[in-house]
Structure 1
């Protein structure tokens, strides 16, 4: 039996991971009660007893927990960090198993894995196959637009929407320095910083990530079918990531994959205008958070 300690299990992501792991055979969950959850000595002692620690904490607290674990030396557990703290850090493996061929094996072998952000999961899934195929230059000016359900915004945003109703829709992070940009840039294979414009809607969960492209500005002036073919080839055989034909009515809503761990990719296009829009749809609490974490846990523990 594999033993797991979720450090920060009371938050949205931690609760989602616990709920999913309850039904996974071969797993025993270890917990601390009451004030012991904040006791460094108690947390360190429990870390020494388990195979894997999952961190569902703010960035600074996650870094402190990693230090506690590393201080255990040979008794240190493997770590999956769901915070932003280690996503571009050296010696950490990025936990998007489908990112490139063979990456699932890298996750399985890693001692320290950083769970991806929800927005970057969709953007990287769309962009990395195109940069790898040479269809999108690494220095191409890229704009990423995204909308998420309010559950991705943390406790304060969830309470505001569920108690007070919240705004129907709002843009945020308009200082253009969202904390997800570094991982998006690094793992999408971009050398030019993308413009990232996130937004939140008055629905609990679900997500759309969209990337507009002028096809005539790309090398070889590809057609939309070329972009779609690159995505299909990249994700061939994947259980969770699929390339889907665009809807004929040109509409797409964000909640269809809620309560699943699936990720859908589409290429919409107007070949006369030579415009295309890449779109990823996922559950921000599924493949965008807890579902991705459990996928990585399964790989890391050989489940």
Structure 2
């Protein structure tokens, strides 16, 4: 029976992972190791948990995740495999990007890796939309890409959650306006872009849900590319996936519609006569954007049905 230690299980992502693993634990498919609350920051106690675990899931701030990785490395061959839900190792050498549907062979790479980085919520939507278009030759890696996104406030961590739930919080906020959001290198690398994209995130006054939207001028795509061809390329890329669906365009999209779900919906909204298209990804920032993605990666890494 594989043993899993969630380092940081009291946080939003850690709680979500624990909840999703409960059915597997109840039927005896896994064992969840838990550290006493008063020892959760004790390096010796965490080292002891890691020494017992087959897989450690890091639901920690970036610096703490790096420290946890060093602890695991010190254990050598007896140390656990790692799944890091922080930003610390998403573009680090020696880590496999935990987006199974991203490209052919990615799920197998995750299955055999000792170090897997769980994707960010915003990059999950952006990479899902852009990578298939680059691989199909419809979008140049050198294209000028603008990405807009709105997330539920749970994506901002404890401070945002407390502000929204205690005082009501603002209806809508743009942030990251220095244009150097920490998710940009991740998006650029895994969307296979040569040019840095312009990314503008925002947060709305709703707990869970997310829409990532990318406007496209058809004239900037490969010769002869149409919005119908964009839809076809996405459909081909995710054919057979039970997590990612390519759906028909809708006149309106509710960002919170997939709250509580681990699925993601992709769409191409278009008007050929105008030469414009809009790519959208809708997901739960705590589902496919965090804990749901972690559950997929845990299943692959431990070969769980």
**Do they fold alike, i.e. is TM over 0.5?**
yes
Q: How many residues align?
A: 301
**Correspondences of 1:183-198 after superposition (within 5 Å):** 183-198=186-201
The residue aligned with 1:154 is 157
Aligned-pair CA distance for 1:221: 3.8
**1:177 matched to 2:152:** no
Tell me how far apart the structure 2 counterparts of residues 197 and 153 of structure 1 sit (CA, whole Å): 15
**Structure 1 runs (4+) greater than 4 angstroms displaced:** none
**1:220 matched to 2:223:** yes
Aligned-pair CA distance for 1:301: 0.2
The residue aligned with 1:22 is 22
Structure 1: unaligned runs, 5 residues or longer: none
Q: 1:87-106: CA deviations, max 9, x gaps?
A: 00011000000000121111
The residue aligned with 2:203 is 200
> Alignment partner of 1:261: what SS?
coil
**Correspondences of 1:63-78 after superposition (within 5 Å):** 63-78=66-81
For the aligned residues, what is the CA RMSD? 0.7
Q: 1:224-280: CA deviations, max 9, x gaps?
A: 100000001111111101100112xx2111111111110100000111110000000
Tell me how far apart the structure 2 counterparts of residues 70 and 167 of structure 1 sit (CA, whole Å): 43
Tell me how far apart the structure 1 counterparts of residues 256 and 159 of structure 2 sit (CA, whole Å): 22
> Alignment partner of 1:100: what SS?
coil
The residue aligned with 1:125 is 128
The residue aligned with 2:249 is 246
Tell me how far apart the structure 2 counterparts of residues 230 and 260 of structure 1 sit (CA, whole Å): 24
Q: 1:30-68: CA deviations, max 9, x gaps?
A: 011132111101111110111000000000000000000
**1:52 matched to 2:55:** yes
Tell me how far apart the structure 1 counterparts of residues 137 and 213 of structure 2 sit (CA, whole Å): 20
Structure 2: unaligned runs, 5 residues or longer: none
> Alignment partner of 1:229: what SS?
helix
The residue aligned with 1:288 is 289
